[in-house]
Structure 1
């Protein structure tokens, strides 16, 4: 469609030029400046609620795992139609299904035959649960000062140390294991072959009977004037003899991972 422009008309006021009719002509849509397109707004990502802190985890620390104490011996497990090994494997399988990135470690708790008490309490003591150790010391009326009495021997199995008249005996790891093996079998003479099987099984270098005698001699020398608590039974082996001035802390002991 064409549009004819009208001639300009002079008005009564020559100083004011009339507006050209074309100034009122609407512009075609194509000539209008396009409004800038609004940038798409991404929906806000939902904010995950902060994970609650586990109980008893103070500020400045983080939870890195947990311990589940299971109190049951092989006889009770067999009566239930299972075994300790099967229970451990089932718990490991469940852990892997729930959290594939989790790492597991299983340890069996050992105690002397006939040790009384609830199984789970024995396990907690053997694996050195701090709350169980504190409860045991409280029930026995012990305090930290008891470790510093002036005379006598303290064989602290839970802390793996020996105090002689209040001072550390300075035993090596293997020397303490040797003493501990005898202490946990108090009153029974242990021959050299049993010591080798019990303390060096799986080692690359298996000692002979003469080597056992050397270890015993070094252990006794570090026990100084209390060395007769490790007694030699000639022709048989060695035995732990408890004296009146000998105190044993915790009658059970942790073992390595056997599963």
Structure 2
């Protein structure tokens, strides 16, 4: 075995890198406690395909990792939707779509008061509210989710089974069947009043959102999320 050259024999050993310090949650205000966290991932379908995967597999891998690190933890994932023409960094689009308060406050444009006084329907996705003739309508959480789901798929007929599988999770209380989904839609339409026909029934198939000239859809640069 050849001896090492003198310059290598005299070289000091490389220092061992310190292990990275664990990430700690910043202190929370008095009277509150941390119940979880949100992790925003900017990663579109094209980038996933280039990496040989898809968004569903990434979500499941993160869920498995969370279960391994913290058994008993509960996870919830949503996919952030944006129009194909939407620009900007993926992570910024995701933060807006998933309603990160800091991102929404930074990007929210000034609202024209005259527009708020206009009659008609305003579906305000960014603020999760529905206005009819400038009056806020008291929709339940699920009623707004139903309306939002149809609005984001404007002009496409959505089958009842898709509404159930997309908006209700297995094991959730009061998961409807295809008959009771009609009841939910009927309640939503009753609250739409004279504008009820923007949610149109396609007999034997499902429901469709039809925009009228007096309907305004408001959202930030990226729409609100759907369940993943």
TM bucket by the smaller chain?
Answer: 0.5 to 0.7
Report the TM-score, using the length of structure 2 for normalisation.
Answer: 0.66
Which residue does the alignment assign to 2:137?
169
Q: CA offset at residue 76 of structure 1? A: 0.8
Q: Which has the higher contact order (CA 8 A, sep 6+)?
A: 2
Which residue does the alignment assign to 2:160?
192
Which residue does the alignment assign to 1:221?
190
CA deviation map 1:161-192 (0-9, x unaligned): 21112211111122111111110110111222
* Structure 1 runs not aligned, ≥5 long: 1-53
CA deviation map 1:195-223 (0-9, x unaligned): 233233514643233x2222222111101
* RMSD (CA atoms): 3.8
Which residue does the alignment assign to 2:9?
none
Q: Which protein shows a greater Rg?
A: 1
Q: CA offset at residue 67 of structure 1? A: 4.9
Among 167, 178, 188, the residue aligned to 1:208: 178
Q: How many residues align?
A: 198
Match status 1:114 vs 2:84: yes
1:147–1:154 CA contact under 8 A, matched in 2: no
2:82–2:223 CA contact under 8 A, matched in 1: yes
1:147–1:166 CA contact under 8 A, matched in 2: no
State the alpha-carbon separation in 2 of the partners of residues 232 and 91 from structure 1. 37
State the alpha-carbon separation in 1 of the partners of residues 120 and 214 from structure 2. 5
* Structure 2 runs not aligned, ≥5 long: 1-25
